[in-house]
Amino acid sequence: MSILMIVELMVVLLALYVGSRYGSLALGAISGIGLAILVFGFGMKPGNPPTDVIYIIIAAVTCAGMLQASGGMDWMIQIAEKLLRNHPKWITFLAPLCTFFLTVFVGTGHVVYTLMPIICDIALKKGIRPERPCGVASIASQVGITCSPIAAAVVAFSAISAENGFEINNIQIVLISIPACLCGLMAAAAASYNRGLDLDKDPQFQAKLKDPEQYNYIYGNSATTLDKRIAPEAKRAVYVFMLALGVIVMLSVLQIFGINILPSWDGKPLKMNLVIQIVMISAAALMIIFCRAQPKKAVAGPVWQSGMVAVVAIYGIAWMADTYFSNYMPEIQAMLEDIVKSHPWTIAIVFFLVSVLINSQGAVVVSMLPLAYSLGIEGPILLGVLPSVYGYFFIPNYPSDIATVNFDRSGTTIIGKYLLNHSFMMPGLICVFVSTIVAYALSMIFF
């Protein structure tokens, strides 16, 4: 490894570090500075920007944004809240299941912000330490990304794998990742079930209750969506979204069995990444026409905004990473070839560490999967370690984790004095570790 190669790698890592400190759009934008230094400063040939993944994110997020603007997500949150309030004793297990499947359904983890204060409220009213369900529920909202057939990470894995000779579609991917991640989540929930002191035995919490203002802050408010009226057009929007998902799933399943009903040109059928884009953008249009979804309201909503932030992040990060790796592919292959041949599963550690830096599972897949294939790692192995692309809970600076801390009025869900001793570390590590092991086993069995 030459001095120049090390210096250029430091440019990449520094750009990621500085971008993560600023967060949001800065992660992608500052990666652009790193890219500029590599290209104009060191004369490296630019890599390829991940346009296919970006287009899919734009289509899916536009559709999800319209669903939110129509009020459809409010109805989904209401359904989840009814389930949780009917079974408060099991909230540590049910809360992560609700946030997980909301993410699987919509394709983004930013749909759960309305549900988090409700989870905290139910736990408080039942006398359960809110850290228990809140910590694992926040983890679950991000774990669901590798289990959603319309999420960028899943579609990118399918597209990049096809380019490298491993033909697998989005439904085949989630058939592995969903059961694996559910096992990981339930293991994390079981570990969280008796986590920390019960509220009636927690001296810090009991001291807060002695202050009338603190008592009123903790117990005086009640978060709920059950009193919100759901308009008929909001329910129609959910049906449209479900129909769009159903079409994508049906076409993917038919593809698995070798049945193609899609248009073909020169013997090549329409690719699934294009199918997803067409179906999602069409569903968004139907919501505008028939469900009174207002585009201005969608653009102002958190789902669309967070999705566009993800677009910029993936654009900058993946382009910078591809530029570096594509210019040094022979050297990287020579360095890692022996390790990868004897222990190919170690690529999971690389995926995890990169995710800690870049806060995007889609960006990890787009930037690191081509490298993994170039090292000779087989597709089934990479599918097995797919859950390891979620590692950004390790440093608690992700919006969903920060929001969860703020939503917990009891103060039991914490960042921690030493940064790494936070409420998301234990459930996150257990979930990713168990999910990766189960996914690896399932992939070896079926592929």
pLDDT tens digits for 209-237?
Answer: 888 888 888 887 777 888 888 899 999 99
Confidence at residue 21, expressed as pLDDT on a 0 to 100 scale: 76
Q: Which two tokens stand for residue 196?
A: 């920390």
Stated pTM of the model: 0.86
Confidence at residue 227, expressed as pLDDT on a 0 to 100 scale: 83
Confidence at residue 348, expressed as pLDDT on a 0 to 100 scale: 93
70-91 pLDDT, tens digit each: 999 889 999 999 999 999 999 9
251-269 pLDDT, tens digit each: 888 887 878 888 888 777 7
Confidence at residue 334, expressed as pLDDT on a 0 to 100 scale: 78
Confidence at residue 388, expressed as pLDDT on a 0 to 100 scale: 95
Cβ neighbours of residue 190 under 8 Å, at least 6 residues apart?
93
Sites in the chain below the pLDDT cut of 50: none
Alpha carbon distance 274, 199 (integer Å): 51
Alpha carbon distance 158, 163 (integer Å): 9
SS3 call for 269: strand
SS3 call for 265: strand
